[in-house]
């Protein structure tokens, strides 16, 4: 990897962080039981509730950071109520964040609790038609949500009828890592086959974004995204320097139009991550970006794939050269 730049360049077109968690001083508690274990795993030390509150940003600080770096973000909701008992980060909160900081938080993803299906159906419709959110995010393992269980078909039918995009967690999650019984978190719920393929094939109006590197199914996710015209990839959750070779191979070749940027901020340092993306270069495309690819991942692909969805929720795309 080449030397990190002293300061970030001034971006002509803002990078689009399609996936971050607005885990502020209050909202980190929507993942309270999971964060206490997750942060200890990520940072190799024990965290208390007070530590997590102290290190979490306020809404203003979060917006100021995105503004300072010249990046825009798409906050995601969080609702694991039935599975973990934690109080959700509501869809109203996400919608408000986008209303309050429209220059940096351009559109938000709703989250509903599929295990409480009756409420989820009503809330899913409200999130799109009344709150003007762009689509849905699910974290299947944290939500205890087996996506292709036939009992959830009404939810998928509704989302398919509304023609809005969905983010699904792909593969490994730090959540539940290292404790006996993994806090009840089962990674198989994040698998590509047959679960995600069932959704991608049966509900073709849904653009499906598979989040994260996706181990232990990196190859399978690449196949899913190559095969499914409505399946896309996102790359948060692991520093690019650690991405497996097969991911770099596909991202630089057959999947150049399919990858979008996401950060999982604040679990990852936004500035350091952005610098790493900009400096992780490799002309051969084996351990870094080939010429011209990082721009596609940072913003071009998101605009191309989500253009109509951004327009539906009223995002002004002139900053990315779109009328
Ligand atoms: Zn996430």
Q: How far is the CA of 70 from the centre of ligand 1 (A)?
A: 21
Q: How far is the CA of 238 from the centre of ligand 1 (A)?
A: 11
Calculate how far, in angstroms, residue 228's C-alpha sits from the geometric centre of ligand 1.
23
User: Residue 262 corresponds to which tokens in the numbers above?
Assistant: 């996401």
The predicted pLDDT at position 133 comes to: 98
Contacts of 287 (CB under 8 A, 6+ apart): 245, 248, 280
For residue 93, the model assigns a pLDDT of 98
Task: Determine the distance separating the centroid of ligand 1 and the alpha carbon of 323, expressed in angstroms.
Answer: 31
Q: Are strands 109-110 and 72-75 parallel, antiparallel or unpaired?
A: unpaired
Q: Is 98 exposed, middle or buried, given 0-12, 13-18 or 19+ CB atoms closer than 10 A? A: buried
Span from the CA of 77 to the centroid of ligand 1 (angstroms): 10
Interval between CA 92 and ligand 1 midpoint (Å): 19
Cα–Cα distance measured from residue 91 to residue 126, given in angstroms and rounded to the nearest whole number: 9
Show the domains of the chain with their CATH numbers.
16-320 (3.20.20.140)
Q: How many residues does the chain have?
A: 323
User: What is the bridge-based pairing of β-strands 259-260 and 135-138?
Assistant: unpaired
Rounded to the nearest whole angstrom, what is the distance from the C-alpha of residue 264 to the centroid of ligand 1? Answer: 5
3-state secondary structure of 73: strand
Distance in Å, CA 76 to ligand 1 centroid: 8
> From CA 188, how far away is CA 144, in angstroms rounded?
10
CA 249 and chain centroid, separation: 22
Residue 96 three-state SS = helix
Alpha carbon of 265 to ligand 1 centroid (Å): 8
d(CA 191, CA 209): 13
CA-nearest of 166, 88, 170, 169 to 128 is: 166
- Cα(188) to ligand 1 centroid in Å equals 17
Q: Which residues are within 8 A (CB) of 307 and not within 5 positions of it... i.e. 6 or more apart?
A: 317, 322
CA of 267 to the centre of ligand 1 (A): 8
Burial class from Cβ neighbours inside 10 Å (0-12, 13-18, 19+) for residue 242 reads exposed
**pTM of the predicted model as reported, rounded to 2 decimal places:** 0.96
| Per-residue pLDDT, 6 | 60
The series of mean pLDDT values per 10 residues for the chain, 323 residues long, is: 64 97 95 89 89 95 97 98 95 98 98 98 98 98 98 98 98 93 96 98 98 97 98 97 96 98 96 96 96 97 98 97 92
Q: How far is CA 236 from the centre of its chain?
A: 7
For 281, phi then psi, to 5°, come to: -115, 145
pLDDT at position 100 is: 98
Distance 219 CA to ligand 1 centre (A): 21
Distance 20 CA to ligand 1 centre (A): 6
């Amino acid at each position: 990897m080449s030397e990190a730049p002293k300061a970030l360049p001034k971006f002509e077109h803002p990078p689009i962080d399609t996936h971050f968690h607005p885990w502020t001083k209050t909202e980190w508690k929507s993942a309270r039981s999971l964060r206490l274990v997750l942060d200890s795993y990520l940072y190799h030390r024990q965290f208390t509730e007070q530590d997590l509150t102290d290190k979490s940003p306020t809404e203003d600080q979060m917006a100021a950071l995105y503004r300072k770096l010249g990046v825009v973000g798409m906050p995601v909701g969080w609702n694991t109520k039935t599975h973990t008992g934690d109080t959700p980060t509501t869809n109203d909160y996400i919608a408000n964040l986008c209303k309050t900081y429209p220059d940096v938080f351009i559109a938000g993803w709703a989250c509903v609790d599929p295990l409480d299906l009756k409420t989820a159906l009503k809330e899913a419709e409200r999130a799109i038609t009344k709150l003007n959110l762009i689509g849905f995010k699910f974290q299947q393992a944290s939500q205890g949500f087996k996506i292709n269980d036939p009992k959830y078909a009404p939810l998928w039918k509704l989302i398919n009828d509304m023609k809005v995009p969905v983010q699904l967690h792909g593969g490994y999650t730090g959540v539940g890592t290292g404790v006996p019984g993994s806090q009840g978190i089962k990674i198989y719920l994040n698998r590509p086959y047959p679960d995600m393929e069932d959704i991608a094939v049966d509900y073709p109006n849904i653009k499906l974004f598979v989040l994260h590197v996706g181990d232990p199914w990196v190859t399978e996710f690449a196949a899913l995204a190559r095969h499914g015209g409505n399946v896309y990839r996102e790359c948060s959750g692991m520093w690019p320097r650690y991405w497996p070779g097969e991911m770099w191979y596909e991202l630089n070749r057959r999947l150049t139009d399919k990858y979008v940027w996401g950060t999982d901020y604040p679990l990852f340092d936004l500035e350091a991550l952005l610098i790493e993306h900009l400096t992780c270069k490799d002309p051969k495309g084996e351990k870094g970006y080939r010429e011209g690819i990082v721009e596609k991942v940072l913003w071009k692909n998101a605009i191309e794939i989500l253009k109509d969805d951004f327009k539906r929720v009223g995002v002004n795309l002139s900053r990315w050269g779109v009328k």
